[in-house]
Each structure stands twice: as C-alpha cells, then as structure tokens.
A = this chain, B = another copy of it.
Amino acid sequence: MEYKKELERLISDLKTNYLPSVSMDLVIFGFHDGQLKVLLLRWKETDDWCLPGGRIRHEENLETAAYRSLRERTGLSELFLQQFHTFGDVIRYKNYSREETLTKLGLPDEALKEFASRDVSVGYYALVEFAGVTPTPDFFAAECRWWDINQIPLLLFDHNDMITLALKTLRRQLSYQPIGYNLLPDKFTMPDLQQLYETILGQPLDRRNFQKRMLGYGILERLDERKTGGAHKAPYLYRFSKEKYEKALADEILFVG
C-alpha cells in the first residue's frame, strides 16, 4: 500500500516536472587498491541488475541533472563526471525481450506507460575512490552495490553495452587527459599511479616508459620524501600540481606529428 502510494506520487511528479523522451544512465566506476568495479542496482523483488539512472527536470540543465543523480546514488558531489554517448535505439532491450523486461519490472500499467516508453538516454560515467562511497538504492531498487568489472551479470535493457562503451571511452581518455586526482591520496608513489592506469586499462605497462610519459606531462611534483615503511629503495612520493593538472585537462594532449 505504501509502495503503491509512493509509485503514484512518483508518476505524477514525473509527468509534471520532467522532460519527456529523455533520460540519463550512469556508469559509476569505482577504483580501489587495484580493483575496478561498477555500481549496479538490483530491481525490487527480482535478481535483475541495471545501471542507476535519472531524469531531467524542466528547469534543470542536463549536466546538473547528471550530478544530482550521481549524488543521490553515491553521496558524493565532487566527482569527475563525463558524458560519453547518447543511446537512442528504438529497441533498447538486449538480454531480455521487452515483454520479459516488463514482467520483471512488475509495474502497473500506468507506471509502465510512463517509465517504459521510448527514451533517448544520455550516458555519463564517473570514476570514484569506492572506499569513500555509500551506495544508496533508489525507489525501484532493493539493493545497490559494486560489481567487479570482469563479473558483470546480464543486465536489464542495453546496460551491458553502456558499460562496455563507457570503459572504452575511459581507456581512450587516458591517452589525452591526465587522471588520478581524487582517486589517489594527496601523496602517492609512481607505482601507485601506474597501478591506477593498469587497473583501468586491464593490462600491465612498462615501468620505465610509464614514468617517462607521466613526468613528460609536467603535472607531477616530486616531493623530498620517500614512502616510509617499505623495503630498500623506498619510492619517492609525488603529488599533482593542481594548476598544471587542470591545464592539461583543458588543453588535452593531442596528435603529435
């Protein structure tokens, strides 16, 4: 009864306050200690998982709406958030047919008309240090948790495709923009940074080439400190030069003929 009332309230809110035909889906990558995960929601009373998403209020910019949705799911507001692709196929049911999907969702007809009509969905991805996140389910979800990138189940809608493309775009981004701010502690070693890159790329990198490339960007400051508590030859500590990091983000590292 409580559920039905809340659902009615949501439908009415949706009809009044949100843009029709457009939605957002969020691929929230979590990095922690050499692992890369994705935040997924489990639909109530099912074993089916999907990406968190959201809709855009009439008075709200698209990007503001994406940040709002992200904050609602993670509790974080200062995040690296990036639009990567807009998904607009008429049929966006992949692993299950439309009928199967609607049965799984278990919504009354009126809700289906609103929530299961055709949407063009704008995909965003974020990259967070997942130790600092409190995953929070939305009204339709029973559970919200991190899944290892290599163990994603069959998802509802076209959400597996979305994760694949988001990861491809994130990996591509490493070749023209710096990454790491907000993901590593203030002071970190070159091996820490290399581990971040290797985790995202899913493959090992050559230590010397990596170091040369990173130092070449001019975004790192080497401190007069070494990591303590380690074995012999403790590695130097570095930190990002915020100003140069921001500049590299904006300028990008383009084609070098």
Contacts and interface: CB of A to CB of B under 8 A. Distances in A.
B86 A174 contact: no
Given A174-B255, A197-B257, A120 B56 contact: yes
A171 interface: yes
Nearest to A198: B257
Interface of A: 19-22, 56, 58-63, 65, 83, 85-90, 118, 120, 122, 168, 171-172, 174-176, 194, 197, 201, 205-206, 209-210, 213, 252-257
A121 to B, nearest CB: 10
8 contacts: A19-B120, A59-B90, A61-B88, A83-B85, A171-B255, A172-B252, A174-B255, A194-B257
A209 B257 contact: yes
A120 to B, nearest CB: 5
Copies per complex of this chain: 2
Contacts of A19: 21, 118, 120
Q: Lowest 7 CB-CB distances: which A-B pairs, in order?
A: A62-B88, A205-B257, A210-B257, A175-B255, A174-B255, A19-B21, A86-B86
A257 to B, nearest CB: 3
A60 B19 CA distance: 20
A178 to B, nearest CB: 12
Contact of A172 (B58, B62, B254): B254
A139 B210 CA distance: 55
A174 B254 contact: yes
